[in-house]
Chain A
C-alpha cells in the first residue's frame, strides 16, 4: 500500500500527516472495494444476461427485503466509522497544544506577512525549529485567503475581520510549500510561501543573521531573489508593463513625476524611501496602496533591492 500512498499523497511533514494518511488510505480501500464490486457486477450482468434474440427476462422478482436491509445497514455502519474516525483526527488537527510558538499571520492580496513573538517580521517565508509545535494566528486584510500546507495536511481559511488559528508540529527538516487555497483574485496562484523547518541551532542562527544562503550572495542577485519572494513582482513589472505599481524598467537615474505634480530624481534615497515609507512619494496615476516594508527587510536586503532596481535599465 505504501507505493500507492507515495503516488497519491505528498511527503509527510508532521506526525498528524501520517495519522491523516492512514485514515485516507482506509477510505481509498473502501472506495476501491465498492467501485470494483459495482463495476464487476455491471459487466458480469451485461454479459451474462445479454438479450439473445427476443428472450424475456429470466425472473421478475421486484424486491427482497432482507437484501435491501443489508445493503442499507452495512453502508450506514461504514460511513459512521468514517465519520467518527474523521472527527477524531479533525479535533487533533484543529486543537493546538498550549506551549506552541505563536506566529501572527496576515494575508493580504497576494502576499503572506508573518510576525514572530520577538517582533521579527518576514514575508512569504518562515523558519521554524523542528520538534516544537507552532501555532499560527491568522487574519486577512482584504478578502478571504486560505493557509494550505499540503505536506502538513493542514488548511484553514484566513478570514478578514476574524482570527482563525492553525497549528502543526514539524518533524521533517527541509522546505515545505505554502499555497493560498481560497480564490482571491489575480495573484491567487502567485501567493506561494515557504516554510523552512530547521534544526535548533540553524533556527537560532537564522534568527540573528538571516538566511545564510543569502548572506554570501552578491547584492543584485539577492535583490532579484527578494523581488520574487517579498512579493514586489506582483505589483511592479520589469518589462515596463503597468500593474498596480510602476514598472522598475528604466526608473533608476531618471526623473519621476509624482502625484502632487512635482518631479524627483530616482536615486538610491528615493528607492530606499519608497521601500520603507511608500506613502511619502507616490508616482502620478498610481494609488498609494503599497504596504511599508519597515522592519520586514534587514539592512542588507534593502541595499540588495536598490542594487536590483539600479540594474533594471
Chain B
C-alpha cells in the first residue's frame, strides 16, 4: 500500500465525500469543453469502442463472405472495400488510440499522483482532432470507400479511383491526435510525478506508456509526410512513387513501414503495460524483475525503429538490406520474451485470484506467446518467402493485436472499471464472456495459420475449394468471438445503471490510483501523495510512517 503521508480521511465505500469527477459538473458543454483528463479519457473510451464496433462489423462481413469460395454475399469490389475499411478503422481509429488515449489518459495522472496531464488543452485538442479524423474517415467510407488495403501501396493507391485521398487525409489528421497524446504523456511523466516518486518508483504502466509515447512522437511524423506525398502523387503526380515518372514503389513501402512497424509497438506496449499492472495485483506479489521489464519497454521502443524491412523481404528489396533487417528483427524479439518470462516469475509462489482482469491476463500470456513465436517464422528470411502475404501473416498479427492488445485492453477495462465509473461489473458474466472470447478467437485464427502454410494468399475474395473447410471453421469462430465481445459490452453497460458500489481499492492494488476514491474526485487527490515505497510492494505494511515527515 503506497504510504500516503497524510492519509485522506477514510471514505465509506460508495459515498465519496467531495463530488466525483462525473458529478462535479453537469451538462453537455461540461463534457465537450472539459480539461479534466478523466473525462477526456472517458470520451475517448466511448469513441474508441464505437470505432471498434464499426471495425468489427466490417470484420464479420469479411468473414461471412469468405464462408464459401466465390460470391457469398457481396461482389469482389465490395469485399475489397470491406477488408480495407476493416484494416483502416481497426488500426487508425481503434487500436492506436485505444489504450494510451482512453485508459492511459484516465489512469496515468492518477498513478503519478498528479492533478492532471501536463497540457490539458492539448489533451482536449487531441480528442477533437481524433473526432475530425474519424469524420473524414466516415466520409471516405460513405463516398465509395477505399479498395487499396490499409497499407495504400502505390502504384495501386495512386491509380485507384476510390476515395483514397479522403481516407489518406483522415489518417493524416489522426496522426496529429496521436502525436499530441505522445507529447502530453512525455511531459507529464517527466515533470508531474508525485514528490518522492523517482523513475524506478513509478508503476510499470507508466514505463509502458512512456515507451509508447516515444514511438508516437518519433514515428508518426513520417506517416504524416508519407500520406502527404501520397496525396501529392495522386493530385499533382509529383513522381516520387509512380514508376512511370521515375519514382520507386518500393520507396513508398520504406516510408510506410518506417511508421507502421513502430506503430505495431504503439499497439502492443500499452497492452504489456496493463498486464504488468494486473499480474502483481492478482498474484498479491511484487513484480519480478521490475527493472528488466522497464528497460525492455524502452529497448523495444528504440529497436522497433530498426526492423521495418522485414515487411519487404520479397518486395524486390536488396538481399543485403533483407539480411540486415532480419538480423535486427530477431534482436527485438528478446525483450518481449524477457517480459513474458518475468510475468510468469511474478506468478510463481504468488496468491493468485482468478478475477476477470487476471483471466484476461492469463489469456494474454498464452495468445501473445503464440503471436510472438509465430513472428519467428516471418522474421526468418527463408520461411518468410513462403509465408509472406499469406493467411499465416493474417493469423500472426491478429494473435498479437487481438490476442495481445485487445485482450489486454479488455483486461485493463475490467481492472479500472470500478475506478473509472465507481461500479462493479458482474463477475459471473465476465467469466462466461472470457471463455467465449477465448474459444471464438482460437477457432477463428488457429485455422488461418494452416491456411497460410498451405499457401492461401491474403486479401483473396475468391479462393480454391481445398481451402473452404478451414475458412468455414474460421467464420464460425468469428461468430463466437463476436458474441463474446457483445456480452462484455452488455454487462459493462448494465453495471452503469447501478448506484456507486465500488470501494476505493476493490482488488488490493498497491499503485497510487487505488488510494483515491472510486470514481476519483475532480482533482484526483485530497492531499498531494508522497511516495516512499516500491510500486508493487505487497509485503504487509510496516507501522504507518509518522504523519507529515
Are chains A and B touching directly in their complex (CB below 8 angstroms)? Answer: yes
Check A183 against B459 for contact (C-beta < 8 Å).
Answer: yes
Check A179 against B455 for contact (C-beta < 8 Å).
Answer: yes
- Bound-state CA distance A86–B340 (Å) is 25
A51 at the interface (CB under 8 A from B): yes
A188 at the interface (CB under 8 A from B): yes
Among A73-81, A211-219, A271-279, the one that faces the other chain is A73-81
- Which residues from chain B contact A52 at a C-beta distance below 8 Å? 351
Check B156 against A177 for contact (C-beta < 8 Å).
Answer: no
Chain A-chain B contacts (Cβ-Cβ < 8 Å), number: 263
The 5 closest A-B pairs by CB, nearest first: A150-B455, A161-B243, A86-B380, A89-B382, A90-B381
- Bound-state CA distance A161–B248 (Å) is 8
- Bound-state CA distance A27–B376 (Å) is 7
A194 at the interface (CB under 8 A from B): no
B457 at the interface (CB under 8 A from A): yes
What per-residue 1/0 map shows which CB atoms of A126-150 lie under 8 Å from chain B?
Answer: 0000000000000000111010101
Check B314 against A156 for contact (C-beta < 8 Å).
Answer: yes
A66 at the interface (CB under 8 A from B): no
What per-residue 1/0 map shows which CB atoms of A164-205 lie under 8 Å from chain B?
Answer: 100000000000010111111111111000000000000000
- Bound-state CA distance A38–B334 (Å) is 15
Check A51 against B284 for contact (C-beta < 8 Å).
Answer: yes
- What are 26 residue pairs bridging A and B, where the CB atoms are less than 8 Å apart in the complex? A20-B383, A20-B386, A27-B376, A34-B373, A42-B366, A45-B352, A49-B348, A50-B351, A60-B538, A71-B337, A75-B333, A76-B334, A80-B330, A82-B379, A83-B330, A86-B381, A86-B383, A86-B384, A90-B322, A155-B386, A161-B243, A179-B455, A181-B390, A181-B457, A183-B153, A189-B459
- Bound-state CA distance A151–B455 (Å) is 8
Check A183 against B316 for contact (C-beta < 8 Å).
Answer: no
Of the candidates B160, B344, B350, B459, the one having the most CB atoms from chain A within 10 angstroms of its own CB is: B350
- Bound-state CA distance A86–B453 (Å) is 16
Check A31 against B376 for contact (C-beta < 8 Å).
Answer: yes
Check B316 against A38 for contact (C-beta < 8 Å).
Answer: no
Check B457 against A148 for contact (C-beta < 8 Å).
Answer: yes
B494 at the interface (CB under 8 A from A): no
B288 at the interface (CB under 8 A from A): yes
Take A51-B284, A55-B351, A60-B538 as given contacts and tell me if A94 and B383 are in contact as well, using a CB distance cutoff of 8 Å: no
A93 at the interface (CB under 8 A from B): yes
- Which residues from chain A contact B380 at a C-beta distance below 8 Å? 23, 27, 82-83, 85-86
B489 at the interface (CB under 8 A from A): no
Closest chain-B Cβ to A110's Cβ sits at a distance in Å of 10
B249 at the interface (CB under 8 A from A): yes
Closest chain-A Cβ to B385's Cβ sits at a distance in Å of 5
Check B389 against A42 for contact (C-beta < 8 Å).
Answer: no
Q: Which one of A46, A144, A189 lies within 8 Å of B249 (CB-CB)?
A: A144
Closest chain-A Cβ to B396's Cβ sits at a distance in Å of 11
- Which residues from chain A contact B155 at a C-beta distance below 8 Å? 142-144, 160
Check B290 against A161 for contact (C-beta < 8 Å).
Answer: no
Check B376 against A50 for contact (C-beta < 8 Å).
Answer: no
Q: Which one of B153, B379, B385, B454 lies within 8 Å of A9 (CB-CB)?
A: B454
What per-residue 1/0 map shows which CB atoms of B258-283 lie under 8 Å from chain A?
Answer: 00000000000000000000000001
Among B33-41, B101-109, B424-432, B460-468, the one that faces the other chain is B460-468
B173 at the interface (CB under 8 A from A): no
Q: Which one of A39, A68, A185 lies within 8 Å of B156 (CB-CB)?
A: A185
Check B538 against A56 for contact (C-beta < 8 Å).
Answer: yes
- Which residues from chain B contact A285 at a C-beta distance below 8 Å? none
A260 at the interface (CB under 8 A from B): no
- Which residues from chain A contact B349 at a C-beta distance below 8 Å? 49, 57-59, 61
- Which residues from chain B contact A266 at a C-beta distance below 8 Å? none
Closest chain-A Cβ to B245's Cβ sits at a distance in Å of 9
- Which residues from chain A contact B384 at a C-beta distance below 8 Å? 86
Check B365 against A91 for contact (C-beta < 8 Å).
Answer: no
Check B389 against A91 for contact (C-beta < 8 Å).
Answer: no
- Bound-state CA distance A162–B250 (Å) is 10
A10 at the interface (CB under 8 A from B): yes
Report the nearest A residue to B280, measured CB to CB. A57
- Which residues from chain B contact A72 at a C-beta distance below 8 Å? 334, 337-338
- Which residues from chain A contact B461 at a C-beta distance below 8 Å? 188-189
A159 at the interface (CB under 8 A from B): yes
A280 at the interface (CB under 8 A from B): no
Closest chain-A Cβ to B347's Cβ sits at a distance in Å of 4
Query: Which residues B456-479 have CB closer than 8 A to chain A?
Result: 457-464
Check B315 against A157 for contact (C-beta < 8 Å).
Answer: yes
Q: Which one of A38, A79, A180 lies within 8 Å of B369 (CB-CB)?
A: A38
- Which residues from chain A contact B373 at a C-beta distance below 8 Å? 30-31, 34-35
Closest chain-B Cβ to A147's Cβ sits at a distance in Å of 9
- Which residues from chain A contact B540 at a C-beta distance below 8 Å? 56
Known contacts A58-B349, A79-B376, A186-B77, then 9 further A-B pairs from the complex at CB < 8 Å, ordered by chain A residue:
A39-B366, A45-B350, A59-B285, A144-B249, A157-B315, A161-B244, A181-B458, A182-B153, A189-B457
